[in-house]
Amino acid sequence: MENTIPKIPDLTLSHYRFILNHSKTSELHEEAKTKLFQAIDENKMAPFYQLLTDELKLPLDKVLLAQYQQANKEELQKLDEKIEDAEQNLGETEICDAMLAKANFFANIGDKEKALTAYRAALEKTAGLGSRIDIIFCFVRVGFFFNDDDLISRNIERGRSLIEEGGDWDRRNRLKVYEGIYRLSIRDFKTAANLFLDTLSTFMSTELMEYKEFVKYSVLAGAIALKRVDLKKKVIDAPEVLEVLNEIPHLEDYITSLYNCEYAKFFRALADVERVHLRTSAYIFPHLRFYVREMRIIAYAQLLESYRSLTMESMANAFGVSEEFIDKDVSKFIAAGRLNCVIDKVGGIVETNRPDAKNAQTIPTQSHLESGDAPPVYGTQSSAPESIHVFGKRHEASTNSYRAAEEFSRKHPPQQLLPSDEHIRSIVSQGGAPAYQFVPEHPVTVTVSEKGRVVQFTKKEDTMVQTNYPLFVPRVQTDSVESRDASGGTDSTIIQMPVSEVTPVSSENKSLQKSVGNSEVRVLHYFEITVLSNASPRDTTIAIGLATKPYPSFRLPGWNLNSVGYHSDDGHKFNDAFGGRSYGPEWGQVGDTIGCRYYPDLGYVFFTKNGKNLGTAFTGMRYIWFPTIGADGLCKLQINFGDGKLPFRYPEARGFGPAGPIQ
């Protein structure tokens, strides 16, 4: 096998396709469109031309398409003739080569399905281990070209199995690069960094990207994944990186300013890297907000490691931003349990609360400093009241907010009551879901329109809003009102006891079932929100979830007792006063649709994104739940309770709503 593999399919075309599909790269659209359609014309890519014109809503030139199709037909005929000739007159090697040429042809014109079929046929015919591995790499490249994660991951595993049987050094290294790119695309930055750095000095996979681009990804992955000492040794001082680093815009300032603790310079470089490199990468763009946020956390933690406490003013000056920005940004990361510090709002002080052994170390040893394992420690810049330590890592915009929320919960325990008989009759008469709407407690910070189906948050402060009715199944019998609460309990009139006291439901108990047509279905409560506008997706957290009533209006769902939430800024799930846990992807872009799904029998809470189930978030959550949404910035949300013209994005919830089965 030669060291240079042909660029089939050409992944630069998938890059241009990505650029054209994203509004945040609009300044690059014209150039990308020109280069993309020039390549389509040169290679007569009829299938890819049809795909793009449909995807980008561009006019289809039928005459041009016919020309491409005719050229494809003629070339395919030649390839079939070569296969036939090889089968009749030549050996197995020539037959395999001819079949592979046909597969490459389909891949080169962007016909995914025919390419995969042809590669499978070639693979079955190929006997040599090295050649079989090469065809597996073809499958992976087709996966990269069409953004097919399943195709990529399955064939990386197939390639690994074959290489373990006796693959040579070159193919082992090539597989590391392929897997590194895949790991980068699924946010496994640590594995990606290790794979990239292992092959930095032996890179030959130019069929995927040029060497300079490979170095770029090595630096970006290393910055977020490596410890400080390893970043210096394996990236900053690596000869392969130094050779091209100054040729890659903004990357040298980015990586060196972080290591040298030049935080204001680092923040500027991070903004440039986001604009030039992250937004334009199909592999990293889906994780852009996560990446930028994690790098800010790394920088904040690195600075805070140098002090026991420092003023907000000093921290803001160090990063070249306002105190207001630092207050809000650092508070979010404290709330998520990502920074070991607390903020004294009154004194304007940030104080670290690292473990005592670490905190007692005012000045590290000289060897510690020389190793680069930690930035210099400068001791205490100013003192903070000892009392702030008791609040630790809380979900809070400030310590005062957490205190106020705890006090609110003590004074206003959850009311485990369902609506009155009169309200239940009204809900049933309206068909269940149509009776639900979000009702704001404070119209100054949140407004509701279109009968509670459009919610707009109008202030940059934590605000939540809940529905008028909880999750339950209302029923009207002949002589009485019957309701079924979110735990599945029922009574001849109405449940008025805490859900935790309801008898668990056995598998034989049919009270959790409701007849819909001729089938018995499990009771499901569900609603969705769609982001209509978001002034600043990067800095605004939107939350969807469930909460009891009353609930503090200044806390997002999941931040306080008796609530659960899925938050947009980091994809974490929350249901207590401590650190959130990783759950799903980030969201918050215009058009994102997030659903909250609740099964009352086991108290299971799930969330969905754009119609995809994200898996179980919580179990055993049996309360009188109210659909709850919140935000800390300017945004507008469309509410779907399943009774409108638009069906739920999540197909399994269709026919259900917050009141269970839709009447």
* Mean pLDDT in residue range 375-401: 37
Give the helix, strand, coil percentages of the chain, each rounded to 5: 45, 15, 35
Cite the DSSP H helix spans in 250-321: 251-259, 263-273, 288-304, 312-319
Q: How many CB atoms lie within 10 A of CB 68?
A: 21
Length of the chain: 663
Task: Specify if 15 maps to a domain.
Answer: no
Is 44 part of any domain?
no
How confident is the model over 600-650, as pLDDT tens digits? 877 889 999 999 999 888 888 888 899 999 999 899 999 999 987 789 999
Q: Which residue has the tokens 């940004």?
A: 329
Mapped onto helix, strand or coil, the DSSP state of residue 613 is strand
Residue 650 placed within a domain: yes
Q: Is residue 176 part of a domain?
A: no
Helix (H, G, I), strand (E, B) or coil at 552: coil
490 and 631 fall within a common domain: yes
Residue 583 lies in a domain: yes
Q: Are residues 335 and 372 in the same domain?
A: yes
Classified as helix, coil or strand, 344 is strand
Residues 312 and 226 grouped into a single domain? no
Instruction: Tell me: cis bond preceding 504? Omega within 30 of 0 counts.
Output: no
Residue 438 and residue 382 in contact, taking contact as beta carbons nearer than 8 Å = no
- Cα separation, 113 vs 503, whole angstroms: 54
Domain end point (choices 253, 286, 319): 286
d(CA 333, CA 108): 46
CATH at 327: 1.10.10.10
Residue 567: inside a domain: yes
Q: Cα separation of 382 and 312, whole Å?
A: 11
- Based on the fold, state whether residues 351 and 426 are members of the same structural domain: no
Per-residue pLDDT at 2: 46
pLDDT class of 235 with cuts at 50, 70, 90: very high
Task: Tally the domains of the chain.
Answer: 3
Question: Angle at which helices 288-304 and 211-225 pack, to 10 degrees?
Answer: 50
Within 8 A by CB and 6+ apart from 321, the residues are 267
Q: Is 449 exposed, middle or buried (0-12, 13-18, 19+ CB in 10 A)?
A: exposed
- 488 and 627, same domain (yes or no): yes
**For the segment 502-554, what is each residue's pLDDT rounded down to a tens digit?**
323 333 233 333 322 333 446 789 999 999 999 888 778 999 999 999 999 88
Tell whether 258 and 309 lie within a shared domain: no
**CB of 187 within 8 A of CB of 293?**
no
By C-alpha distance, which of 480, 497, 478, 481 is closest to 489?
497
What is the C-alpha to C-alpha distance for residues 470 and 635, in angstroms, rounded to an integer? Answer: 24
Can you tell me the distance from the alpha carbon of 73 to that of 219, in angstroms, rounded to the nearest whole number? 45
d(C-alpha 49, C-alpha 68), whole Å = 9
Model pLDDT, residue 96: 93
What is the share, in percent, of the chain residues with pLDDT greater than 90?
54
Indicate the SS3 state at residue 120: helix
38: tokens are 């020039």
Q: Is residue 228 part of a domain?
A: yes
Residues 256-269, mean pLDDT to the nearest whole number: 95
DSSP helix/strand/coil, 370: helix
Give the CA radius of gyration of the chain.
29
Q: For residues 293 and 538, give the distance between their C-alpha atoms in angstroms, rounded to a whole number.
A: 9
pLDDT recorded at residue 559: 85
- The CATH number of whichever domain residue 522 belongs to comes to 2.60.120.920
**Confidence at 48, pLDDT banded by 50, 70, 90:** very high
Report residue 314: phi and psi, to 5°.
-65, -40
pLDDT of residue 38: 95
Q: Nearest 5 degrees, angle CA 136-CA 139-CA 142? A: 155
Residue 71: how many CA atoms within 13 Å on its side-chain side? 16
Token readout for 214 is: 């490979």
- Which structural domain, as residue segments, surrounds residue 482? 421-661
pLDDT of residue 375: 52
| pLDDT exceeds cutoff 80 at 106 | yes
Q: Are 216 and 239 in contact (CB under 8 A)?
A: no
pLDDT of residue 500: 29
255 & 311 share domain: no
Residue 492: other Cβ atoms inside 10 A: 9
Whether residue 476 sits in one domain with residue 351 = no
Smallest Cα–Cα separation from 427: which of 601, 655, 596, 643? 643
For residue 169, is it within any domain? no
Instruction: State whether 329 and 432 are in the same domain.
Output: no
Q: What is the pLDDT of residues 70-97, one digit of tens each?
A: 999 999 999 999 999 999 999 889 999 9
Same domain, 430 and 369: no
Tell which residue, 186, 215, 60, 46, has the closest CA to residue 114: 46
Nearby residues of 245 by Cβ (< 8 Å), 6 or more positions away: 215, 219, 251, 252, 255
The partner residues of 637 in beta bridges, in order of sequence, read 455, 531
Mean pLDDT of 402-424: 79
Same domain? 572 vs 535: yes
Does residue 445 sit in the same domain as residue 582? yes
Closest-CA residue to 539 (of 570, 560, 566, 564) = 570
Domain boundary at 252, 286, 320, which?
286
Amino acid identity, residue 624?
Answer: I
Residue where a domain stops, chosen among 239, 256, 286: 286
Task: Pick the closest to residue 621 from 554, 538, 565 (CA basis).
Answer: 565
